[in-house]
Chain A
């Protein structure tokens, strides 16, 4: 009999505990109701991609030496480099170059290893197409520059979270000239340079002291 009551109390405790957790969960969801939306109204507003955004690849035909390094470093050997050997000049002659963005994973290896910097990554990410074959970009399509979000008159550019001023969470209605939290790369460089200078000065002073010490001996 006692064990039965024990069971019942344990059961009741479990139920109360579950109800408690449920109430906590509800409190969390309810609290979210008063927070402002963090979404961007996409076709009308767009986030500005970060500096190292890995978007669609840009390619400069004239810089390419057809070395095929991009093909070798590509995880799936994607770039198609169509060249012929010119027997007279004993040089490679590039005819066509293409990357299929339906298969590309935008890892950026080709850009990283290209010896002549003819490959680069753009901030273009809108690659929807009606036909997957139209995603196979040839050297002409690869050479086009994307429309920048900041210059497109039909789009309101918004800064990403990491680029907002300190203490700011909403990218809407922030003053344009207000810098992001933390130091910009340029400022960091300046700081590093000034630190280097002072360090060098210190070292020089130390050295002179050292020399002085020696001479005194």
Chain B
């Protein structure tokens, strides 16, 4: 649970100094640890929510630009406060549970959608030790958590007692289940190359030669499959059948209002940011600068462990991760205004008949390449 350490041996360890400070006051180490826990959690929650606010604003502004409009303009400079205003509006709206709906499932649904998404932020690294928890199963945890989501969607669709909601919920479940498999297989190929499920190891393994050693070059097919599946999992526009407003009103969200709707809204955008972050982690070198920072340090003759250099590396890492993620978000928004929505049969065709075999072939080819060229493919 270290938050600002750049290397293992020495450097700035906020947790350690926090614990030391408390110990000096006379608090036992266990209680100090307990007191420490909320900080990284709160930090990630804030980061996720700010990420969502920025994404919502970007979505509206880029959509406007693509359609030659201006977009939000009056709420703050350039409408930057618009997502905040949206959120506040939803917060003050009446919380309605429709008559003859299942109150418990209706309330539980949005929570079950949002919680796994936020939990998945556990494994997103912004730097060598800039993540909440470097769990060994890392990326697998994310895949496992994301399969909880369809249950929540189905739950809310079923509990709403509305035909559109039910259809939307069923579609969401079908879509999530069919796109999870190629997604997992694409991740598996990356995992095979880096010999680890941990997100930190995956990024480490990509940063030997900077830009040239990113996984995109070794896994171009996997990258495309992962991105398509991630869009499908997020129910982004080419695959937004579960909410298809022309046919299903708003899908499983039809009966939701106020804060419960806001949870869905938040969940979908956090998921989008998370997917973009994970694409950058798995394929685009995560926090790595296109030219390794270590090289700069050796050129200038600085020690990589010097506190100032560490802070510099950490901030470059955060900025790089965010830039990569937001470029992908931009691509997702652009795709939204480029591609028409696929039909449900096309969606399932694409998932089962195209992405699944391709990702299997990709996995086999990766395995073969790993045996043939162990140096280039992480032997």
Contact = CB atoms under 8 A, between A and B. Distances in A.
Interface of A: 15, 22, 25-26, 28-30, 32-33, 35-39, 41
B336 to A, nearest CB: 9
Interface in B154-181: none
A35 B68 contact: yes
Interface string B319-340: 0000000000000001101110
Given A32-B65, A33-B62, A33-B65, A22 B339 contact: yes
Nearest to B357: A11
A129 B335 CA distance: 39
Contacts of A32: 65-68
Contacts of B93: none
A29 B337 contact: yes
A15 B339 contact: no
Contact of B338 (A29, A36, A38): A29
B339 A38 contact: no
B100 interface: no
20 contacts: A15-B354, A22-B338, A22-B339, A25-B338, A26-B334, A26-B338, A28-B338, A29-B66, A29-B334, A32-B66, A32-B67, A32-B68, A33-B62, A33-B65, A36-B68, A37-B69, A37-B70, A38-B68, A39-B70, A41-B70
Contacts of B337: 29
Contacts of B338: 22, 25-26, 28-29
B297 interface: no
B64 interface: yes
B230 to A, nearest CB: 16
B64 A37 contact: yes
A41 B62 CA distance: 18
Counting from the closest, the 5 A-B pairs by CB-CB distance are: A25-B338, A29-B338, A37-B70, A33-B65, A38-B68
Contacts of A29: 66, 334, 337-338
Given A37-B64, A37-B65, 9 more contacts: A15-B354, A22-B338, A29-B66, A29-B334, A30-B334, A32-B65, A37-B68, A39-B68, A39-B69
A154 B160 CA distance: 47
Contacts of A30: 334
Contacts of B66: 29, 32-33
B354 to A, nearest CB: 7
A26 B335 contact: yes
B183 to A, nearest CB: 18
B74 to A, nearest CB: 10
Nearest to A34: B65
A210 to B, nearest CB: 62
Interface string B48-78: 0000000000000010111111100100000
Contacts of B73: 41
Interface string B69-93: 1100100000000000000000000
Nearest to B350: A18
Nearest to A24: B338
A15 B224 CA distance: 12
Nearest to B71: A37
Contacts of A25: 338-339
Nearest to B238: A22
B342 to A, nearest CB: 11
A36 B66 CA distance: 10
B19 to A, nearest CB: 49
B197 to A, nearest CB: 30
A29 B70 CA distance: 16
Contacts of A36: 68
Nearest to A15: B354
A28 B335 CA distance: 11
A162 B20 CA distance: 74
Interface in B331-374: 334-335, 337-339, 354
Nearest to A25: B338
Contacts of B70: 37, 39, 41
Contacts of B354: 15
Contacts of B335: 26
Contacts of A33: 62, 65-66
A38 B335 CA distance: 22
B334 to A, nearest CB: 5
Nearest to A39: B69
A28 B334 CA distance: 10
A56 B230 CA distance: 51
Contacts of B65: 32-33, 37
B226 to A, nearest CB: 15
A15 B64 CA distance: 31
A29 B336 CA distance: 10
Nearest to A30: B334
B373 to A, nearest CB: 24
B97 to A, nearest CB: 30
